[in-house]
Amino acid sequence: MADVVTPDPPIHLVVMGVSGSGKSTVAEAIQDRMGWVFAEGDDYHPEANRAKMADGRPLTDEDRWPWLQTLADWTRERDEQGESTILTCSALRRFYRDILRRGGERTVFVHLVGDKYLLMERMQGREHFMPPSLLESQLDTLEQLEQDEEAIVQDVTNSPERIARVVAAQLDLAP
């Protein structure tokens, strides 16, 4: 792991995208490069949400609100301590991202995008509570980032290490 890069004010990265985009792998590569605190957003889902998704049923907004607030609270706690963070979360809708932005003054979305068939292939080749059958529902739900949302968009065909380098450079934190 690299030495911790400590920007002031703290930066809070949300590695976002639909299932199969590689959020966790990319977030780990960014953590290796920056040394920031990392949280896997899926780990904060209540068991009822995980069971629902495992059954192939998409979550409703009502299912997501408490989970998103928990993620924003996690970020806020670290922001108050002056720590930069990396969080994985699909963050598919603008309203979800608005909740996450409440966690810290500078929240930057690292949006991983890719071909639907590549994403499906990735999902079919892994063990995860999110079944491939929910990919279409996630793609339908995804709302594109807007101009007032600070974002770095990366194609999932890039290696996680390359994406981490691009993120560092875009944030002007590259060595």
Q: What is the pLDDT of residues 23-66, one digit of tens each?
A: 999 999 999 999 999 999 989 999 999 888 788 787 888 999 99
DSSP annotation string for 11-79 = -EEEEE-STTS-HHHHHHHHHHHH--EEEEGGGGS-HHHHHHHHTTPPPPHHHHHHHHHHHHHHHHHHH
CA 82/CA 37 separation, integer angstroms: 11
What percentage of the chain reaches a pLDDT higher than 90?
65
**What are 54-64's pLDDT values in tens digits?**
887 878 889 99
Looking at per-residue pLDDT, the higher value among 54 and 135 belongs to 54
Phi first, then psi: what are they for 91, rounded to 5°? 45, 50
Which residues lie across from 152 on neighbouring strands?
A: 110
pLDDT of 3 > 50? The answer is yes
What was the pLDDT predicted at 56? 78
Tell me if 98 sits within 8 A of 2, measured CB to CB. Answer: no
What was the pLDDT predicted at 129? 47
What was the pLDDT predicted at 4? 77
DSSP annotation string for 112-134 = EE--HHHHHHHHHTS--SS-GGG
What was the pLDDT predicted at 94? 97
Task: Quickly state the pLDDT bin for 70 (edges 50, 70, 90).
Answer: very high
Tell me if 84 sits within 8 A of 12, measured CB to CB. Answer: yes
Q: Where are the domains of the chain?
A: 12-170
Regarding the domain with residue range 12-170, which homologous superfamily does it belong to in the CATH classification? P-loop containing nucleotide triphosphate hydrolases (3.40.50.300)
Looking at per-residue pLDDT, the higher value among 7 and 131 belongs to 7
Mean pLDDT of the chain: 88
Tell me if 86 sits within 8 A of 129, measured CB to CB. Answer: no
pTM of the full structure: 0.87
The secondary element (H helix, E strand) that includes residue 156 is none
DSSP 8-state secondary structure symbol assigned to residue 8: S
**What are 83-103's pLDDT values in tens digits?**
999 999 999 999 999 999 999
What was the pLDDT predicted at 108? 98
Looking at per-residue pLDDT, the higher value among 60 and 150 belongs to 150
